[in-house]
Structure 1
Amino acid sequence: MTRKTTRQSAKKPAARKAAAKPVLLSGGNPQIAKGEGDAPVQAYIAAMPGWKRDVGRKLDALIVRAVPGVHKAVKWNTPFYGFKDQGWFLAYHCFAKYVKVTFFQGSSLRPLPAGVSKYQAVRYLDIHEGELDEAQFTDWVKQASRLPGERL
């Protein structure tokens, strides 16, 4: 009887194993393999912890609605948005208490996003729980998508 049980357990399909929980790096940032397209970005969003997942879904939906045909990728555990062969205009990243949006040519946006950077052209928007101003964010996304992209 022991032999039969051993053989049967060896034949169980791998699909029955529980899905691995996403690895969260420092500050709760998901560790996602780099990749081009929507799938890695959606994997990143699905792995965002707690309330940040809803922010990620909202950011992605607003960007896609504001910039039809936007190109997406995950690099350095961060979703990037831009145009293929023209560079990136925006990225976002999870931190312990907020989601940081990076506008690569943010110093050209009006009004200026509040967060300053050591890089003159870059501006940041820190989104804490319940603080996303969708109208202002959408306006900045539209402006940023018309500026030259960052090639990383």
Structure 2
Amino acid sequence: MTGKAPQQPKLLSGGNPQIPKGDGEGPVAAYIEAMPGWKRDVGRRLDELVVRTTPGVRKAVRWNSPFYGVPDNGWFLSFHCFTSYVKVTWLNGSSLDPQPPGSSKHERVRYLDIREDEGIDEDLVADWIRQAAALPGDELF
């Protein structure tokens, strides 16, 4: 009896993994493992920082992106693969001090783009995670 190897998720434009909508660790872990090349390490590091700084964090995949939130307080962070960077979305980023550098057409949203040749300022990102998790988040779905 021969078994089929698990099918690898399809990579959408920019190398973003196509992962079915789902709640919990499983879908987020599947997304991170499907991230191509150096982006996988960025995804792992971001996930580790969120888990370390946000006890009881809630995880889900929506719109082919992992989301992180606080139960009964909404979602505060997501990320997404693009061709040359990983875009971290701070859903309440305009309330963070200092604000993440990337602006958005949505008044409250701010972005941080992480490129291959740049490191992650883990102290700053962890501080943003702590701040964002303490603020009211978004219930997008």
Deviations 1:103-139 (A, max 9, x none): 1110110111100000111100001113211111000
Q: Which residue of 2 aligns with 1:88?
A: 75
Are positions 1:135 and 2:141 aligned together? no
SS in 2 for 1:52: helix
Scaled by the length of structure 1, what TM-score is found?
0.88
**Deviation for aligned residue 1:22:** 1.9
| Matched residues, number | 139
SS in 2 for 1:116: coil
Off by >6 Å, runs of 4+ in structure 1: none
Given the alignment, which residue of 123, 148, 151 partners 2:136? 148
Deviations 1:11-49 (A, max 9, x none): x23x2x233222000100000011000110000000000
**Deviation for aligned residue 1:84:** 2.5
Higher helix share: 1
Are positions 1:76 and 2:56 aligned together? no
CA distance in 1, matches of 2:9, 2:45: 20
The percentage of counterpart residues that share the same residue type is 63
- From the CA coordinates, give the structure whose radius of gyration is larger: 1
Scaled by the length of structure 2, what TM-score is found?
0.95
Letter in 2 for 1:124: Y
Gap runs ≥5 in structure 1:
1-11
CA distance in 2, matches of 1:85, 1:138: 21
Gap runs ≥5 in structure 2:
none
**Deviation for aligned residue 1:85:** 3.1
CA distance in 2, matches of 1:84, 1:78: 18
